[in-house]
């Protein structure tokens, strides 16, 4: 079973967050280079991928997410997984109070796992995939019950202790 609280002797770094991509123009190629640098420095990268609302509405979610992921895989190889983590963060859900439905989130997480499995099925099964689009106590259980979602990358909800504890309790179920 993949589900567990993150532990170990690694320090983690978030790479490719939507705000870095949008505000600083970080490309998927630059994100891939940052992943390589993080791994060389013995940091465990949490690689963020996700689409904007416009991309989702055009039906480009799969293409966008796969392109972002494949840039990392092309430069770094599949063997960085399961040491690296992938976080699906739909840009349209971050800080908006909106969240992908459990079915929408599962669909993208399955695509991510399938993309890794094309290169190495064994690695894909042990790669941790997180959901990070406005996880709240109200939606955490539904999201975390999806078979390809291994946990959450929690933002604003972590600022309220009771909310964060409720999200953690949802993960434990």
Query: Does residue 81 fall inside a structural domain?
Result: yes
89 in catalytic set: yes
Which is catalytic among the residues 55, 89, 107, 118? Answer: 89
Query: Does residue 2 fall inside a structural domain?
Result: no
The range of the structural domain enclosing residue 155 comes to: 11-172
Question: What's the CATH code of the domain at 44?
Answer: 3.20.20.70
Query: Does residue 5 fall inside a structural domain?
Result: no
Query: Does residue 4 fall inside a structural domain?
Result: no
Contact 117, 148 (CB under 8 A): no
- Most confident by average pLDDT, 19-23, 76-80, 96-100: 76-80
What is the domain count for the chain?
A: 1
Q: Cβ neighbours of residue 2 under 8 Å, at least 6 residues apart? A: 125, 126, 128, 150
Query: Does residue 6 fall inside a structural domain?
Result: no
Query: What's the pLDDT at 4?
Result: 42
pTM assigned to the model: 0.90
Cβ atoms < 10 Å from Cβ of 96: 12
Query: What's the pLDDT at 134?
Result: 85
Query: Does residue 3 fall inside a structural domain?
Result: no
Instruction: Choose between 7 and 68: higher pLDDT.
Output: 68
């Amino acid at each position: 079973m993949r589900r567990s609280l993150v532990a170990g002797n690694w320090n983690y770094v978030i790479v490719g967050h939507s705000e870095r991509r949008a505000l600083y123009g970080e490309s998927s190629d630059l994100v891939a280079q940052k992943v390589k640098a993080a791994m060389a420095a013995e940091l465990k990268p949490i690689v963020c991928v996700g689409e904007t609302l416009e991309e989702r509405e055009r039906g480009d979610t799969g293409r966008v997410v796969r392109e972002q992921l494949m840039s990392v895989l092309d430069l770094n190889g599949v063997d960085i997984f399961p040491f690296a983590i992938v976080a699906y963060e739909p840009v349209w859900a971050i800080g908006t109070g909106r969240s992908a439905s459990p079915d929408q989130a599962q669909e993208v997480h399955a695509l991510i796992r399938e993309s890794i499995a094309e290169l190495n099925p064994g690695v894909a099964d042990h790669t941790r995939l997180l959901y990070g689009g406005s996880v709240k106590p109200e939606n955490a259980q539904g999201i975390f019950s999806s078979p390809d979602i291994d946990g959450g990358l929690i933002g604003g909800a972590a600022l309220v202790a009771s909310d964060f504890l409720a999200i953690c309790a949802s993960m434990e179920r």
